[in-house]
Amino acid sequence: MLLITCPYCGPRDDAEFSYGNQAHIARPVDPSVCSDQEWAEYLYYRDNPKGPFAERWMHAAGCRRWFHVVRDTNTHAILQTYKVGEWPDPAIDPREGTS
């Protein structure tokens, strides 16, 4: 049972949260100009690293707010939690092209 620190409520069991997969994927501003492949990537393709991963969680049994977590998918270590609109600490930012 992961212990996830909701930025609004504090540390809670993972059973209180729902999962939202990879973070920082913006919906295309104008979907009509996306190619079929680009749209497929927006819909279905997500990073799936073995290691640190910036992902979304929602505190379903608490404040019901979405937030971000950098978590190691191999060790389950939680490296950072932060609010929507914020960014991972550059030192641990797992996103492509940022480290």
Q: Which residues bind other proteins (CB under 8 A)?
A: 1-3, 13-15, 18-21, 26-28, 30-32, 34, 36-37, 39-50, 53, 55-56, 58, 60, 64-66, 71, 73-76, 78, 84-85
E strand map for the chain: 3-6, 10-13, 18-22, 52-58, 66-72, 78-83
Shortest distance in whole angstroms from residue 96 CB to other proteins: 10
| Strands 3-6 and 78-83, bridge-based pairing | unpaired
- When the beta carbons of 21 and 89 are compared against other proteins, the nearer one is 21
To other proteins, the closest distance from the beta carbon of 91 in angstroms equals 22
Residue 87 is encoded by which pair of tokens?
């960014």
